[in-house]
Structure 1
Amino acid sequence: MPHPDDYVEDSDHLVHEITFRLASQEFGISLRDFVVHSGLYTQAELDTDIYT
């Protein structure tokens, strides 16, 4: 679901948008971190207007 036009990401309070279980342990990661770690985007690309 897209964010509203006035959405501002608070880097001090990251929401775990993706959760998963591995070896019976629950993990969470923000969507922003997921796309960087998976190689879909670079950190520099995330900081552009087109990403937001």
Structure 2
Amino acid sequence: MQALAFIKANPSVDVLLLDIKMPHLSGLDLVKILPHPQLEVVLVTSHRDFAVEA
């Protein structure tokens, strides 16, 4: 939730590094609701189950 608020307040953000498992909102869910689709997003995880979806 903090990342989403930061991105909305700082439209100059170009790259976002996200873990898939985060509190309150997954990295995948955050990507889906990003207000700036031109962001470059890197998703990381240590869980194989999320690799295909990411």
Q: Please state which band the TM-score falls in when normalised by the shorter chain.
A: under 0.3
TM-score normalized by the length of structure 2: 0.27
- Give 1 or 2: higher helix fraction: 2
Larger Rg: 1
Q: Which protein, 1 or 2, shows the higher relative CO under an 8 Å CA cutoff with sep ≥ 6? A: 2
